[in-house]
Chain A
Amino acid sequence: MDDLVVEFIAETNESLGLIDNDLIALEQNPNDKGIIGNLFRLVHTIKGTCGFLGLGRLEKLAHHGENVMGRFRDGDLEVKEDYVTLILESVDQIKYIIGELETTGVEPEGGDAELIERLDAVYEGRDGDNGGAETPENNADGELSKEPNPSNEGGLSDYDLAMLQAAFESVPSDDEAVVVVDEKEEKPASPPAVVDSTEKKVTAAPSSIAVQSLRVNVDVLENLMTMVSELVLTRNQLLQILRHTKDSDFDGPLQRLNHVVSDLQEGVMKTRMQPVGNAWAKLPRIIRDITVELGKKIDLQMDGQDTELDRQVLDLIKDPLTHMVRNSADHGIEMPDERLAAGKSESGTILLNAFHEGGHIIMQIKDDGKGLNTARIREKALENGIATEDELAAMTPKQINQFIFAAGFSTAAAVTSVSGRGVGMDVVRTNIEKIGGTIDLDSIEGEGTTVSIKIPLTLAIVSALIVESSKERFAIPQLAVQELVMASAGGVNKIEMIKGSPVYRLRDHLLPLVYLDDLLKIKLNTPTQESHDMEIPEPNNDNRYIVVIQVGGYRFGILVDKVYDTEEIVVKPVASILKHIELFSGNTILGDGTVIMILDPSGIARLTGDSPMAEETEKSKETRKNKDLKKTSLILFSSLDGSPKAVPLQLVSRLEDVDTSKIEYSNGKMMIQYRDSLMPLIKFDSSMEVSNEGRQPTLVFSDGRRSMGLMVGEISDILEDYINVEINSDDELSLGNAIIDGKATEVINVGYYLGQAYSDWFANHGSEDFADDAIDMDSQKRILIVDDSPFFRNMLAPILGVTGYSVEMAENPIEAMAFLEKGEMFDVIITDIEMPEMNGFDFAENIQQSKWADIPMIALTSHVTDKDIERGKSLGFHDHIAKFDREILLNALTDTIRNAKKLEDKAVAEGI
C-alpha cells in the first residue's frame, strides 16, 4: 500500500478514535459546538486528504457530510436527535470505508448515494422539520443492513465478516467503541447483528495498522536517543577499562553488553529514520506548477525514495533540495522548442537519485537541460568583484561554475516568480555544510547539470578522531578527515616553511598547514615565530601529525601533537555563551567522562583558508553586513620599499606632481608655493631623497585654507573597497592594516602627518593667520565623537584636531554617557547612528533628558533618508552628515557652533 495511504489511515483512525468519545457526548448534548467543530474538522480533513490520494468514494461522502456539519457548525441548523443519528451514520460509514481500505488497500466498491441523498436533503432543508426524523432512521437501518447486498457488493464479504468478527472478539479493549455502537443501536433500533458487524469492522481495523505504525512524540524519541547515546558512551568507557585488564571475569558479560548496546543504538537510530521520499513528496507538484507556468515539459523521475536518513537531517535538507530542483526546472531545462532545436527530446528530465555510500547519503539532482553558462558566470563573478580577471584565467570551468554558490549570485537574466532572486545557492550550500555535508556541481554546457549532495546519515552520533595539542584533547569529525600523515624532522616527511607559513608536500600537492595550538591560542610555551621556521627544532615538534582535512574544494592540514583513537561521539551543542567561537561545532563527553570540544573543519577553513569559496562566503557575509558602512574609496600608494599604503580618498583634496625644483627650504623644512600660499611638504619616508629636478608625486591634504603635501613613492591606484582595518595602536604612523585588493595594506594616519605639518606651520606663522577663520580659535571648542568604528574615530579626530577643535572620543553611547557622569561639557556632539549597543537616536533621546540637552548634536551616518533626518530633527539633531564628507562636516560644525553661539548671545542679551 502507498505510504501516504497508510499514514492517512493511521491518522484518520486516530482522529476517529478521539471522536468516539465526543459522539457519546453529542448524543446527550446535540448542540455542543465544540464537538460539532471537531467533527467538521475531521470530515474536512478527510475530504481534503482523500482528494489528494484519489479516494473518490470517501471524498464524496466526506464532502456531503461536511456540508451538513458546516450548517450545524454555523448554527443555522439546529442539531436534532435525528441529525445526530445521521452524523453518526456518516461517521460509521467513513469508518467502514477506511476499514476496507486498510484491509484491501482499495476503497470498497459501490457508492453511498442513498446516504448522501439524505445528507443533501438535510443540507438543503428538504428533509422537512419533523418528517425527516423518520426517514433517516429507517434509511439508516436500511443502508446498514443493506450493505452486504448487491449495491455494496465488494464491501463486506462473508469472509471479511467472519474474520473481523473473530478479530473483534479477540480485542476486548475496544469496549468503548462498542459502547458507541450499542447506544447508537438503541435509537434507530436496527437489526443488531448487522450493525454490529459493520461496527466491528471499524473497531477491529486499528488492530492491524495501528500495531504496525505507532505515532510517538518526537520528544520521546529524542530522549531515548540521548539515553542510548549515554549508554554507548558508558559502554565505550567500560571497554576501555577492560582493554587494560587481561582475562577479566567481565569479558563475557561485557561482550554481550557491547552487542546489545550496538543493536539498541541501531534500533533507536532506526526510529528516527525516514525514507528520503518524504522530503521529495512535494516536488512533483512543484514541477507541475513550473511546467504550467513556464510552458515547459518536464519529466521528474525519482529513484531511491526508500533510502532512509535521520529525520533531523531530512528536515534540514528539504528546503535546499526543493530549491535546487526548482532551479533545475527553471534555469536548467529549456523551452520545448529550444530543446527540439538542440536535438533533444521535447520534454526534459530531472532525475532525483538517493543512495547510501559509506555512512553517507548521496543525493543527486540531474537534469538534461542546457547546463550552466560558464561564460555568464565568469562575467558575473567579475562584475560582482568576487574574482579578478587573473584569478578567473587560472580557473577551470568547473571551478568557475562553483561561483554560483557565492552569495548574491544569480545568472538568470530575468527574475521569475520561480527563481532568480539571487539568493539561494549560497543558502543551499550553507545549509548543507551546516549539517556536515558537502555539495558538488558538475555541468556540461548543452548537456545538463548534476548536483551531488553528500550528507551524513545522522547528526546525533558521529565518528570523530581524537587529537591532542598542547595537552588538550579535541575531536575532529571523521567525515572531514582525509588521511593522517606523520611529519618527522628532516627526511622526506618534513614540514617546510614559506615566510612563516608551514606547508607540507603531500604527494604532488603542496598542503597548507595550520598549527592547532596557534589557532586556538593554547600554545604552552609560546615560542617565537622563528621556531617553526627551522627544520622543526623543538623536540615536541618532532613527530607532529598532520590531519589532512577536506572542506569543499579546499584541502589543508592541521598539525597536532598526538592522535588517539576514533570514537563515536554524541554531538552536543555548545552553550550559547560560546556559540560565537567559530572553530567549534559542538562539544561532547568522551568515554572517560571528560568533556571535549569538537572542531569545526569548515570553521577552521574559513578562518585560515584561502579556499576561494570559503573566503568568498566569508567576505560576502562581511560585505552584506557592512554594506553601506565601510565602502571606502582609497588612494593606494607605495612607500620607498614598495610596500602598499592607503589613505581614504575623501581626505585627499588633490593629487599633485610637484616640480621638485620649485621646492623651497625653510629651517630645513620643505615648502612649496601652492595656490598663492606656502604649503609644507612632508616626506612619507623620512629617508626619501628629493632631487632638485623632476616630479614628485604628492598627496595634498587641505582643510579650509591650509594645505599640506605628503610626498610619497608612487601613487598606484584608486579603488573603492570594503575596508576592515585592524587597528594597530602602537604605531602613530598608521591606523592599522587592511586587506585591500588582496594585499595587506597599511592605512596611514593622516592626522600624524597633518600634525607634523601644522606644528611647523603654527611655529612659523603664528595663529593670527587664522583670526578670521570660521572658528574662533581663542576658545577652543570641545567636540565629542561617538562612533563604534575605531577607523572613523581615528580618522575624524585628527581632521577635527587640526581644524582647531579639542576632540574626545567614545566608542559607544554608554562610554559617552560616562563623560556626562564625569560632568564634562562639550560644544558639539557628533554621533554615529548605527551602533550596536545603543543607536544614535536612542542616545539622543537619553541626552535630551540630561544636562547635555542643550548641546547641539550632529548625526553621522552612512545612509541618510528623509525619514531619518525627520526623526533626527525631532530628537534634537542639528544636522545629518554622510560619513566621510569632510567639507560638509566641517561646515556643519561651524554652523552649528555659530547658531548655538547666536542663541546664547541672544539669551544673554535678553537676560540683560
Chain B
Amino acid sequence: MGDSLGGEVTNFKRNRLGLGEEGEPKAEYLTIYLDDQMFGIPVLKVQDVLRDIKFTKVPLAPVEVSGALNLRGRIVTAVNVRQRLGLPPYDGEKKSLSVVVEHENELYSLVIDSVGDVISIENRDIGASPPTLDKLWKDIADGVYCMEDKLMLVLDVSRLLESVH
C-alpha cells in the first residue's frame, strides 16, 4: 500500500473552481511529469497521490496495466502511462508515483514519474494540440497550455483509460 499524499491534494481541491480576479472561471490542474514532459490532470479528477506502491500483477491484462492495488478497501487498477504513450520504462532512481483518478465509478492509478504543483489556469488559455503531435499522444491530449518556460499537455483521463485494451 502506498504512502498517501492525499492531504495536500485535498487542500488543493478546496480552492477548486476558484474564480479569477476578473471573474473568469478557472480550472485547476495537477501537473505531472513523464519523461520530462509536463502534463496536467484536472484536479477534480484526482483522488490521491501514492508512492512506493506494490501492485498485484494481473495476468493476461493489457500491457499498460501494471496491476491492481488496494486503496483503503477499494481496488485500484494501475495503468502505466509511459507504456501507453510509447515512452521507455522509467529508469529514474526515485520511485515512480501514482495518481489515483476516478473514471466511471472505478478507481485507476496512473503510474507517472513525478508530480509538480497544482496550477490554476483559465480554460480559454488552453489551446488545441498541434496536429503534428504523435498520434498516441494526440488521442489522449485535451489541448496544450503554454507556460512561460514550458508547455503543459492537458491529459484527457477518460480517453486515456478508454484507450487501454
Interface pair B75/A597, CB less than 8 Å apart = no
A-B CB contact pairs (8 Å), 25 listed: A226-B73, A233-B73, A520-B59, A521-B59, A572-B75, A575-B68, A576-B104, A578-B58, A578-B62, A581-B58, A581-B59, A581-B60, A583-B59, A587-B68, A588-B75, A589-B70, A593-B1, A594-B70, A595-B56, A595-B67, A595-B70, A595-B75, A596-B56, A597-B56, A597-B58
Cβ-closest chain B residue relative to A570: B73
Complexed CA–CA distance, A99 and B1 (Å): 57
User: Within 8 Å of chain A (Cβ to Cβ): is B124?
Assistant: no
Max chain B C-beta neighbours (<10 A), residue from A226, A233, A577, A588: A577
Q: Does B39 have its Cβ within 8 Å of any Cβ on chain A?
A: no
B79: A residues at CB distance < 8 A: 577
Residues in A neighbouring B62, C-beta threshold 8 A: 577-578
Q: In the bound complex, how far is the Cα of B73 from the Cα of A472, in angstroms?
A: 20
A521 to B104, CA, bound (A): 29
Indicate whether A230 reaches chain B with its CB closer than 8 angstroms: yes
In the assembled complex, how far is the CB of residue B157 from the closest CB belonging to chain A, in whole angstroms? 13
B86-119 CB mask vs A (1 if < 8 Å, else 0) is 0000000000000000001010100000000000
What secondary structure prevails in chain A residues at the interface with B? mixed
Cβ of B165: which chain A residues have Cβ within 8 Å of it? 577, 580
State whether the Cβ of B146 lies closer than 8 Å to any Cβ in chain A. Answer: no
Instruction: Check: B159 CB closer than 8 A to any chain A CB.
Output: no
Q: Does A522 contact B (CB under 8 A)?
A: yes
B151 sits at the interface (CB 8 A): no
| 13 additional contacts (CB under 8 A) given A575-B77, A580-B165 | A226-B73, A472-B56, A520-B59, A520-B60, A575-B108, A577-B62, A577-B165, A583-B60, A589-B75, A593-B1, A594-B56, A595-B56, A597-B68
Alpha-carbon distance A596/B55, docked complex (angstroms): 10
Does B41 touch A at the CB level, under 8 Å?
no
Binding site for B on A (CB under 8 A): 226, 230, 233, 472, 520-522, 572, 574-578, 580-581, 583-584, 587-589, 593-597
Residue of B nearest to A586 (CB): B75
Indicate whether A230 sits within 8 Å of B73 (C-beta atoms), given known contacts A576-B104, A597-B56.
Answer: yes
Give every chain B residue within 8 A of A593 (Cβ-Cβ). 1, 70
- Residue among A230, A472, A576 making CB contact with B59, cutoff 8 Å: A472
How far, in whole Å, are A593 and B54 apart by their CA atoms in the complex? 11
Bound state CA distance, A572 and B61, in angstroms? Answer: 17
B65 interface hit (Cβ, 8 Å): yes
Could you say which residues of chain B place their CB within 8 Å of the CB of A595?
56, 67-70, 75
Min CB–CB distance B130 → chain A (angstroms): 16
Residues of A within 8 A of B19 (CB): none
Number of A-B contacts (CB under 8 A): 64
| CB of B44 within 8 Å of the partner chain | no
Are the C-beta atoms of A522 and B161 separated by less than 8 Å?
Answer: no
Query: A577 touching B161 by the CB < 8 A rule?
Result: yes
Q: How far is the CA of A594 from the CA of B161 in the complex (A)?
A: 23
Interface size on B, residues (CB 8 A): 24
Q: How far is the CA of A385 from the CA of B26 in the complex (A)?
A: 64
Chain A residues in 8 Å Cβ range of B54: 594
B61 touches A578 (CB 8 A): yes
- Cβ of B58 to closest chain A Cβ, rounded Å: 6
Looking at the assembled complex, report how far the CB atom of B63 sits from the nearest CB atom of chain A, in whole angstroms. 12
B residues near A580, Cβ cutoff 8 Å: 165
CA distance A584 to B69 in the complex (A): 16
Provide the bound-state CA to CA distance between A580 and B60, in Å: 10
B45 to chain A, nearest CB (A): 16
Nearest chain B CB to A201 CB, angstrom units: 47
Contact with A along B119-162 (1 / 0, CB 8 A): 00000000000000000000000000000000000000000010
Query: Is residue B5 contacting chain A, with contact meaning CB distance below 8 A?
Result: no
Q: Nearest residue in B to A234 (C-beta to C-beta)?
A: B73
- Report yes or no: B106 in contact with A575, Cβ–Cβ below 8 A: yes
Closest chain A residue to B56 by CB distance?
A: A595
Q: Counting chain A CB atoms within 10 Å of each CB, which of B57, B59, B108, B161 scores highest?
A: B59
Contacts of B69 in A (CB 8 A): 595
CA distance A351 to B161 in the complex (A): 50
- Provide the bound-state CA to CA distance between A522 and B58, in Å: 10
CA distance A230 to B70 in the complex (A): 12
